[in-house]
Copies of this chain bind each other. A is one copy, B any other.
Amino acid sequence: MNVTRTVAETRAALAGLLRPLGFVPTMGALHKGHLALVAAARASCATVVASLFVNPTQFSAGEDLGAYPRDEAGDFESFEQAGIGLVFAPAATELYPDGFATAVSVRELTEDYEGAARPDHFGGVALVVTKLLNIMRPDTAFFGQKDAQQLAVVRRLARDLDLPVEIVGVPTVREHDGLAMSSRNAYLTADERAVAPDLYRALLAGAGAASRPGASGKDAVAAAASLLLGQAGSSRPSFSIDYLATVDADTFTQTDMLEPHTLLIAAARLGKTRLLDNISLSPSAYPERDATA
């Protein structure tokens, strides 16, 4: 496996690779969710390349940039075992040299939810994804459905800027108890980890409520909130809900209509850890719907 550190090296190395080329961007701290992205890429592409870059511009002030889990050697080994041909792992100064002055933003679908909670986040994501797609020039790029708003932003960005790439969303990979895989799960204490799967159970309860005849998005939200907050007052760690809402998966505007594109999305804190998850309210859209823990 080829590890490149500069844009120039990367371009030179990419020139000789077989196409179609699949690309998996990551911030490292790899888990089975990342490996599912690689597996999806390998299923449709002759060559799969990845990036490992903890992008500073997508962290807002006071967030966990400094504490974000890093294990470059372990990540390289995981990439190699997963069949990755090239990993681009630049220093921050390579992607953001002196005099860097350009911003990319996606309006409207970044106003609420993660965009409201993390003011600089999606601007940083849009910027680094634009750069990485211009460097790697893949035919297809793979993103997790767990970060559903990010996936919507990247799809819109690629369409609006005419980036010649197909964006593929890959289903969320879960622990055996249903907790969505995330590098940030490493922040959870043992007590918090025991409670964390309640977030997905709450989404399943919401999806169950939504499946009843005549139900609306409000019913899904109420059922999920009831499950998530039902344990409060006990001695277990309790969730603090950032948001729990039904939205259109493409526009991330709130909707009470239950349609094929409607997602039930959640962000909630357990102690210092912020967990994200979502579930489709369309009976057929997401396989997780049936993979009940």
Contact = CB atoms under 8 A, between A and B. Distances in A.
Contacts of A105: 102-103, 105
Interface string A150-176: 000000110111111000000000000
A36 interface: no
A61 interface: no
B101 A164 contact: no
Contact of A162 (B7, B108, B159): B7
Contacts of A156: 99, 101-102
Interface string A114-140: 000000000000100011001101000
Contacts of A99: 156, 251
A100 B160 contact: yes
A107 interface: yes
Nearest to A156: B101
Contact of A161 (B97, B106, B131, B162): B131
Nearest to A104: B104
Q: How many copies does the complex hold?
A: 2
Nearest to A251: B99
A136 to B, nearest CB: 10
A109 interface: yes
Contacts of A104: 102-104, 161
Contacts of A11: 164
A162 B130 CA distance: 8
A97 B162 CA distance: 11
Contacts of A103: 103-107
A135 B131 CA distance: 16
Contacts of A251: 99
Contacts of A161: 102, 104, 130-131, 134
A126 to B, nearest CB: 7
Contact of A107 (B101, B157, B159): B101
Contacts of A106: 101-103
9 contacts: A101-B108, A101-B156, A102-B105, A102-B106, A102-B107, A102-B157, A103-B105, A130-B161, A137-B164
Given A97-B159, A102-B161, A134-B164, 13 more contacts: A100-B160, A101-B107, A101-B108, A101-B109, A102-B160, A103-B103, A103-B104, A103-B107, A104-B161, A105-B105, A130-B161, A134-B163, A135-B162
**Leading 10 A-B pairs by shortest Cβ distance:** A102-B160, A134-B162, A101-B107, A101-B108, A135-B162, A131-B162, A103-B105, A102-B106, A101-B106, A104-B104
